[in-house]
Homo-oligomer: A and B are copies of this chain.
Amino acid sequence: MSGKQTTKERVLQAACKIFSEKGFHEATVAEICETAGANIASVNYHFGDKEKLYDEVWHYAFSHATATYPVDGVLPENSGIEEGLYIFASAILHRIFSEGENGLFAKLLYREMASPTLALEKIATDYLFPQSQHLASLIQTMPDSHFDAQSLFLCTHSIIGQCAFYNFSRPLREHMIEKKTMTEEEIDRTARHIAYFSLGGLKEIQKDRSTDYSGFIE
């Protein structure tokens, strides 16, 4: 009928669009079905209910994001930590600024974070924590690394936070500022900044003040 896709495929595709634009709660099955050119009952018939459709959308989004922009991309032999940081930041930023399938994951994530669903626990366990773990491992490959657990945790958050901010500040770009997206060059420039900024941060923290902040202020 509409092209050669099946109704189920068209509904999944429409669901990706609507869920990523509106999040789970504000998306309606009526709009999804209408976008797919399918009947209102299609979601329940083909996927069971709205939640199971949402789960399938997440799986689809994660597959594309990690396949196209893996955070643990291959590093050149004997490369330093800054290359690893750059690969990580570049992957996250590309996901955030991608349109279409590769941008789905970040869009879903920033809505899920503010309005969690039953899917959150699986998302965190399967999709998010492994990436944090990879970053923590990377930090520990620094020369003369001696981060205690707490400092490692804080540094990991500092780096992820810098990247994730571009995801969560999305509406400030899209609703307020004239320029709505980044060019490939700007993304690269930002990823390099985060890599160098973080390298400097790690070096500063490594000056063994991690457990002794006495005399910090006053």
Contacts and interface: CB of A to CB of B under 8 A. Distances in A.
Contacts of A64: none
14 contacts: A76-B217, A113-B171, A154-B193, A154-B197, A158-B162, A158-B194, A158-B197, A161-B163, A161-B166, A164-B169, A165-B165, A192-B213, A197-B202, A199-B204
Nearest to A75: B217
A123 to B, nearest CB: 10
A122 to B, nearest CB: 11
- As for how many copies of this chain the complex holds, the number is 2
A209 B196 CA distance: 9
Interface string A155-181: 101101111111011111001100000
A115 interface: yes
| Chain A, interface SS category | helix
A186 to B, nearest CB: 9
B161 A165 contact: yes
Interface string A107-119: 0001111111000
